[in-house]
Amino acid sequence: MSLYIDVGYENLNKYGEELCGDKVEVIRNRDSVILVLADGLGSGVKANILSTLTSKIIGTILANGLEIEEAVDTIANTLPVCRERNIAYSTFTILQIFISGDGYLVEFDNPSAFRFRKGKSMPIETDSREICGKIIREARFEVNQDDLFVLVSDGAVHAGIGHALNLGWQWENIDEYIQRTFRSEMTSKALAKLLLSACDNLYSHEPGDDTTVAAVKIKRMANVNVMVGPPVDARMDKTVVDRFISEEGRKVVCGGTTSQIVARALGREIMTNFRYYNPEIPPMAEIEGIDLTTEGVLTLREALSLIKNCISNESTMKDFLRLDKKDGASRLAKFLIEEGTNINFFVGRAINPAHQNPDFPLNLGLKLKLVEDMAECIRSMGKQVNIEYN
């Protein structure tokens, strides 16, 4: 089974605290993705140290193929003891998804993990066992395409206590909310951000506890092919277009000249697309068989800015909602962030005559830089990126 495991997480610090007492560790290796969510005792620096140690130790041990018993034993013997409570304590949840389609879940004192299949809740049944005096819940299961796993710290289920809700946001409420918000194209990061945003609002922006949401989404591999700029050698136009067209997945053409080359090579018309008009972003066009046809540099620059906003640590839900707009830049960014798992750039290096004008601020170097920056951003999301220069 060829799966892409999309991981995203977000956290909120307890009101007035500089550091978060929850920690998420993601380890990607060849066979699997391991996600550890640890919630340290108390809050602030102390909790941060506890959760960081816990998540790092567990992540490293499991990534090296050792058993969970080893990890729990190590934690029990190495965590610093709290002077006030005289205990060393950090709750945790471990989720390991294997590329082969197997899943492994371990929970210790954290709220139960959520599982959704095609948007419908499907709780994971766990067995309990004792390791080093700690009761651990454990489950092994099969993972399907479109499965979604959500791990939360107890701050999420307490959201709203004393503010909007009397008893806080119960596990069942979160479960229902995720089902209501589920959209198949939504990224894990967007979902984590949405859920955390709801928690933050329920806390009236003054969280009573460190709150963390981590989401893992199992997706089918999907290609997005982006052709930018005409090849240096005009005789190669047809060859490059043929190769571009023969790729599976979405096809995006950026640039006026590039669009003409593609249309000519395919023997099709270019028509102006009026579906969205935004004076700040050049209009789109339509070529039969091409999913998106846009202007070049300005659209790429705007799309890159949107992608950077979304992957930034300071991003908000508004940045993700911006992707729902219908202009060329938003649609391109949406393809790259939400749909594609493998991105192939076909970058032509011919110099655009329009860019020869010294007053024109754009040049070939800028276009290549935009593509490279874009590729870097996409790679940071754990996606495969190939760039082919022509």
Partner 1 sequence: MGLRTIVLKIYKPGREKKRILDEAIYNYSEAFRFLLDRARREIAVIGGSYRLASGPYRAGALMKWVDRDLSEELDRFKVQPFKDSLKFELGMVLAGYLNLMETGADARLPRAEGSAERPVYFCRYDTRRSYCLLYDREKNRYWAKLYLLNKDAARTTDIKTYGGNRLEYVCEGSGAFECNRRKVNYIIVPLSFGKYQERFLRDALIDPKTLRTARLMKRGKDYYLAVSIDTGKAEALAAETYMGVGRGLDNSLVYTTVDKNGDIIGSGPIPGTGGPGGRAASLHELHKAANNITEIAQKNKSQVIVQNLEKIGDEIRWSDSGGNECRPVYDRRTYIRLAELLDYKLAGMGLPSPVRVSSSDIFYRCFDCGFYSKKNRFSRDMFICTKCGATMGIEELGSLNLARKLIRYGKSRIKVKVAVTPGGARFTSKLIGLDCFIPHDENQPEVLRQEIQRLLEDMRQNREVGEILRGNEYKRRSSLLKKFGRSADCMDLIEFI
Q: Contact residues for partner 1 (CB under 8 A)?
A: 164-165, 173, 176-177, 180-181, 193-202, 269, 271-277, 279, 286, 317-318, 321
Question: Cβ closer to partner 1: 39 or 286?
Answer: 286
- Answer yes or no: are the C-beta atoms of 88 and 133 closer than 8 Å: no
Note whether 110 and 97 are within 8 A (CB).
no
If the CB atoms of residues 216 and 270 are measured against partner 1, the closer one turns out to be: 270
Residue for token pair 């190769």? 243
Q: In angstroms, what is the minimal distance from the CB of 316 to partner 1?
A: 9
CA-closest candidate to residue 95, choices 215, 234, 12: 215
CB of 270 to partner 1, least distance (A): 9
Compute the least distance from the CB of residue 107 to partner 1, in Å: 25
The least CB distance from residue 266 to partner 1, in Å, is 15
Cβ nearer to partner 1, comparing 94 with 196? 196
Which two structure tokens, joined as six digits, stand for 199? 């928690």
Nearest to partner 1 of 175, 388 (CB atom): 175
- What's the angle, vertex CA 161, arms to CA 172 and CA 20, rounded to 5? 90
| Residues 217 and 148 sit within 8 Å (Cβ to Cβ) | yes
Nearest to partner 1 of 75, 215 (CB atom): 215
- The distance of closest approach from Cβ of residue 165 to partner 1 in the complex, given in angstroms and rounded to an integer, is 7
Q: Within a 10 A sphere around the Cβ of 257, how many other Cβ atoms?
A: 15
Sign of the four-CA dihedral 318, 323, 326, 329: positive
Cα separation, 12 vs 94, whole angstroms: 20
DSSP H or E segment with residue 310: helix 297-311
Q: How far is the CB of 111 from partner 1 (least distance, A)?
A: 18
**Nearest residue (CB) to partner 1, 98 versus 177:** 177
